[in-house]
Structure 1
Amino acid sequence: MLKIGLTGGIGSGKSEVSRLLVECGAVLVDADRVAREVVAPGTPGLAAIVDAFGAEVLAADGSLDRPRLGSIVFADPDKRAVLNAIVHPLVGARSRELEAAAPEDAVVVHDVPLLAENGLESLYDVVIVVDVAPETQLDRLVRLRGMTEADARARMAAQATREKRREIADIVIDNDVPLEELRRRVREVWAELSERASAP
């Protein structure tokens, strides 16, 4: 099994790259999806968040109000650390379960938004960074996700710098390109990963 850590800044198009890798045959473990699963209604994860932040982080239906929680933790590094201490161990345990269920010869891609921030690069055989210019990130967050420019800049500032991400990369995928070009590059990377996965 080859373990890949896939990361990139917010708005870099990491989800598109992970989708293309799955099309090639990768097994995807999506940290964001797992993070939602471990704080679903009725989970110990959600109970711990409510203990730490109060019932105002719940939506009317009893689920986690992610934008509300986001506005609290992105403004305060200490609160963000409290949240991470609750969620990260749960995400780690669930991700390991999903990975263990993959075939032995699989290329398992872990889509991990905060890989660089949390110093997780040593957990993977290969780290892939999806890279775009900060102007591209800002444009995508405002235009495609409807964030205000101030909000988008705050989210970007809360993440590792572009340089820090590139430093830990074994492979960089430039996503300041048209989709067809991106698809071609991902196929190239896939060929390299498949070769490594099947090497004795």
Structure 2
Amino acid sequence: MTMPSSVAVLRIGHRLVRDDRTTTHAVLVSRAMGSKVIYMTDVDDEIKKTLDKVNKRWGGENEFKLEIIDNWKKIVKSWKENGGIVVHLTMYGSLINEKIKEIKELNQKILVIIGAEKVPKEVYFLADYNIAIGSQPHSEIAALAIFLDRIFEGNQFNKSFLDEKMKIIPSVKGKNVIMRNQSQLNNANPKKKNQN
């Protein structure tokens, strides 16, 4: 099975006030679905604080980060100069089912671009691949989740963070959560807490 060495996400744009929740979801999906970093433009520092809280509770402080940037073009150009490929998710691109195998077989690090609003035309030409999850209007976050799941083939869900203070144990009914305090983290001896 061929996997990229790493995947990062670049989100271009931010619709002020009404977009904070969507922006937070873009960060959380990137983190949960296996990305190492998300680069964002025009983002409020509150988003970074939210991620810090999530990482402290659920782990990943040293494994996933949010970088607020000024110039998205520099990130794209640097990524390509360092041997990575750029995949832009757009409903106007080539269908994912036709290109996903080719992208995976390149075995290169991937920068995934999603837009919060209409992306500049230049993105289409800078990207190595313009990929459509489907050719109907849909959420960029849904597109990101589907793309990352296809890239990692579901293996991202087998990962756990060593510094997690909370961990959900799958359960048919109710909530089953492991809670760890600092000494338990050091001893890797979790205490189980059931919530109904």
TM bucket (normalised to shorter chain) is 0.3 to 0.5
- Determine which structure has greater relative contact order: mean sequence separation of CA pairs < 8 Å that are 6+ residues apart, divided by chain length: 1
- Superposition TM-score, scaled by structure 1 size: 0.32
- Superposition TM-score, scaled by structure 2 size: 0.32
Name the structure with the higher helix share. 1
